[in-house]
């Protein structure tokens, strides 16, 4: 097994220039989750800067912020060893052990730096624990769907379409309930027709929209999708945290996931409500209100998304849901071994996300409700007549 056979072991690591600061190195190390970065001059590797050396600098300096402005040329280690993409994994790991380094630059045949090979990644690959790519997932009425982009497992395309259909059914039910309620209370309000163009009329529109969103979320919370959704989150968290896919381990995982699409739903809700409020204000008040609303949305949308996940879009799953999700995760990991996503076309990758299928189901039922159903009713009425 060589590095060329396991290209996913080579971490992307843009080389620093010798005159770049330690502060930039620290920023890149944190952003990329790396223990070291290569340093290159005129395309030639001249050294590596390591996290432990930067930590030692910050701990010893009277003013760490000032010390972080030092150039990396004063902190880098000389190049004592490099790995080539044709080197066996065991040989590269042995070299890291002899130099007591956590990472080594990987060089292509032409001398170009491909990135870094990390000791922990090599160790995992040698014992059969390949690095796990980012995993995305969706909940369907027929179980969990998981994908790495290159491969997928679990629910099929029709099940994903059924998720969109289920969401549109919930949306139509919420719209029908709110419309029915509006018809019941409209005579009591006794608002004149011209009220629709006043602040009061716009406030009624905003209130109706918020009520529909609340009813939609309430009905979604009652649906079986929320238990499957929670199981999907929990099994993905178990994989990401390196836990065994045992039922008791997965059961202990949190239901909230930072990459959940619920966060985008929260952002969309806040944006739509903001637009409704802005449209109800005078032009002179819209500019400061817009600034305030942008700040509020940026500060709250992730918190709102996490709250919606916890209280609305997920609920504690049954062991049956968790066991099914574990089986899907194990199937996905088996398929993902040795299947890099490099050769996969962009359209196929988009299809593997599952969102296209969900939207197809959602929009198909929306079109049927808007055009198909009234035509069917009219045709049936004509036939009866």
Tens digits of per-residue pLDDT, 235-257?
999 988 888 899 999 999 999 99
Q: By percentage, how much of the chain surpasses pLDDT 70?
A: 87
* Backbone CA torsion sign across 57, 62, 63, 67: negative
Token couple for 235 = 């099994």
Helix (H, G, I), strand (E, B) or coil at 142: coil
> Which is more confident, 153 or 187?
153
Nearest to 121 by CA among 56, 14, 36, 54: 36
Q: What is the rounded distance in angstroms from the CA atom of residue 3 to the CA atom of residue 15?
A: 20
Nearest to 325 by CA among 223, 245, 243: 245
- How many contiguous H segments (helices) and E segments (strands) does the chain have? 15, 9
Is the per-residue pLDDT at 23 higher than 80? yes
Q: How many residues does the chain have?
A: 385
Residue 335: CB atoms within 10 A of its CB come to 15
pLDDT tens readout for residues 263-289: 888 888 888 778 777 776 667 777 787
pLDDT at 189: 56
Residue where the block lists tokens 């018809």? 183
The domains found in the chain, sorted by start residue, are 7-126 (3.10.580.10), 136-255+314-372 (no CATH)
Nearest to 92 by CA among 120, 122, 115, 113: 122
Please state, as a whole number, how many other Cβ atoms lie within 10 Å of the Cβ of residue 59: 9
Contacts of 299 (CB under 8 A, 6+ apart): none
Residue indicated by tokens 């163009």? 197
pLDDT at 196 over 60: no
How many angstroms separate the CA atoms of 118 and 106, rounded? 10
pLDDT tier, 50 (very low <50, low <70, confident <90, very high otherwise): very high
Q: 157 pLDDT exceeds 80?
A: yes
Given a contact cutoff of 8 angstroms between Cβ atoms, the answer to whether 63 and 40 are in contact is: no
Average pLDDT of the residues in 299-321: 92
For 385, the token pair is 């007549």
pLDDT given at position 251 = 93
Q: How far apart are CA 263 and CA 287, in angstroms?
A: 26
Structure tokens given for 59:
């701990």
Question: In this model, does residue 186 exceed pLDDT 80?
Answer: no
Provide the greatest CA pair distance for the chain: 92
- How sure is the predictor about 360, in pLDDT bands with cuts at 50, 70 and 90? very high
Q: What is the pLDDT of residues 109-128, one digit of tens each?
A: 777 888 899 998 888 888 77
CA distance 41 to 48: 12
Separation CA 381–CA 255 (nearest Å): 49
Of the candidates 268, 266, 249, 270, the one whose C-alpha atom is nearest the C-alpha of residue 258 is 266
The token pair that represents 259 in the structure block: 């990459």
DSSP-H helix ranges across the chain = 22-32, 51-60, 64-67, 89-99, 119-126, 157-189, 199-222, 225-240, 247-251, 261-279, 283-308, 319-336, 346-353, 355-367, 373-384
- SS3 for 258? coil
- DSSP symbol at 138: E
CA–CA separation, 48 and 43 (whole Å)? 14
Q: What is the pLDDT of residue 194?
A: 46
Q: What are phi and psi of 331, to 5 degrees?
A: -65, -40
List Cα–Cα distances, 359 to 67, 98, 119, 233, 363, in angstroms: 52, 54, 42, 21, 6
pTM of the model: 0.71
Strands (E) located in 19-88 = 36-41, 44-50, 83-84
**Coil, helix or strand for 337?**
coil
């Amino acid at each position: 097994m060589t590095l060329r056979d396991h290209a996913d072991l080579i971490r992307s690591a843009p080389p620093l220039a010798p005159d770049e600061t330690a502060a930039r190195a620290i920023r890149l190390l944190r952003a990329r989750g790396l223990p070291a970065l290569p340093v290159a001059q005129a395309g030639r590797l001249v050294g590596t800067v390591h996290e432990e050396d930067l930590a030692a600098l910050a701990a010893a300096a009277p003013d760490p912020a000032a010390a972080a402005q030092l150039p990396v040329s004063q902190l880098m280690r000389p190049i004592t060893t490099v790995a080539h993409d044709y080197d066996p994994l065991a040989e590269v790991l042995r070299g890291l052990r002899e130099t007591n380094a956590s990472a080594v630059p990987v060089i292509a045949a032409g001398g170009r730096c491909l990135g870094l090979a990390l000791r922990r990644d090599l160790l995992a690959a040698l014992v059969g624990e390949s690095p796990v790519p980012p995993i995305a997932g969706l909940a369907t009425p027929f179980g969990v769907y998981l994908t790495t982009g290159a491969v997928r497992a679990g629910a099929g395309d029709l099940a994903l379409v059924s998720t969109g259909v289920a969401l549109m059914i919930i949306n139509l039910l919420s719209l029908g309930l709110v419309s029915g309620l509006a018809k019941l209370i409209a005579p009591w309000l006794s608002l004149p027709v011209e009220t629709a163009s006043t602040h009061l009329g716009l406030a009624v529109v905003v209130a109706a929209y918020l009520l529909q969103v609340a009813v939609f979320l309430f009905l979604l919370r009652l649906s079986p999708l929320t238990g499957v959704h929670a199981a999907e989150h929990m099994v993905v968290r178990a994989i990401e945290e390196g836990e065994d896919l045992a039922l008791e381990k997965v059961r202990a995982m949190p239901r909230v996931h930072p990459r959940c699409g619920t966060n985008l739903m929260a952002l969309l809700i806040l944006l739509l409500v903001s637009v409704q409020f802005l449209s109800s204000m005078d032009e002179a008040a819209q500019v400061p209100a817009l600034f305030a609303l942008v700040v509020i949305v940026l500060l709250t949308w992730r918190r709102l998304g996490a709250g919606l996940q916890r209280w609305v879009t997920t609920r504690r799953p049954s062991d049956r849901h968790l066991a099914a999700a574990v089986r899907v995760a194990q199937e996905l990991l088996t398929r993902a071994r040795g299947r890099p996503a490099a050769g996969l076309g962009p359209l196929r990758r988009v299809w593997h996300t599952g969102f296209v299928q969900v939207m197809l189901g959602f929009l198909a039922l929306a079109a049927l409700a808007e055009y198909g159903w009234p035509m069917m009713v009219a045709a049936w009425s004509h036939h009866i007549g």
